[in-house]
Structure 1
Amino acid sequence: MTDVIPQTDPLALDRQVCFALSIASRSVLAIYRPLLQPLGLTHPQYLAMLALWEHERLSVKELGELLQLDPGTMSPLLKRLEAIGYVTRRRDVNDERVLVVSLTQRGRALRAEAEKIPPAIVEALGMGLDELQHLHATLTRVIGAARGAAAR
């Protein structure tokens, strides 16, 4: 006979924040995948493009900090974006040590297509905008708390 684990078990899988975050992340990214495919983008590349559409031009270091990605991850991601013609990478004229990423005309034009993605995500999730904004605020607090805990 199998033992029944009480509902209050602190190790119950379905009570773990890490499990819920992991499943939510994979599930939401699965919705993005077919929307990004016609743009020729992976989700990490899409995030880089979002940052560049907002800032137009960033150093690799600044972009990595915004996306919270290490240089080893940034380099192949940016090489691929450059290969498909969405960005250029050039040495800063004022400081040769700094590599600057800029949008190309094609990269800027892609924004018009990408503007269709957020509403498509909201529709696919079937959740209200207010609920999603509240979730975003809560996740932002979780990220801050986790960083604070890691720093201690």
Structure 2
Amino acid sequence: MFMTKLSKYPHVQAIHVYCDGSVSSSRSGCGLFIRDYISAIHYTDTEVSRRLPAHMSSTRAELYVVLEALRIVAPLSKDVFFVDSKAVLYALQSTYPMDCDLVNKCLDLIHALESAGATVHFTWIPSHVGISLNEEADRLAQCAL
């Protein structure tokens, strides 16, 4: 089902961002995989793996990686974010004021990107079902631990 949805997002002139956070006992990490489809012939990949402060919740780790990804793609054009955390997507869609610094920083950056003409789409994807680039983001998050 997700692969059908994925086909709705054109690869040309779009940037696909796969984000994942990981928490294990007192360790936290995040990983992201960015595929930049600038032309039909050439694309570039960016991999980021970061160790995060200890005792971070999985939602905060996911929010951190979304913020990191937004900062990376800010100078670029069209963006599509694939996130396997429903909690993060709900937090970013909330119409209620957030008392979370990471959510507010993400929203501020999203608004800045959209004001500059970028189109930012967030799409939930299931985790651990063989979506190769999402599995790569998960692997990077695990390596950060």
* TM-score (normalised: structure 1): 0.28
Considering fraction of residues, name the structure with more helix. 1
Considering fraction of residues, name the structure with more strand. 2
User: Based on CA coordinates, which of the two structures has the bigger radius of gyration?
Assistant: 1
* TM-score (normalised: structure 2): 0.29
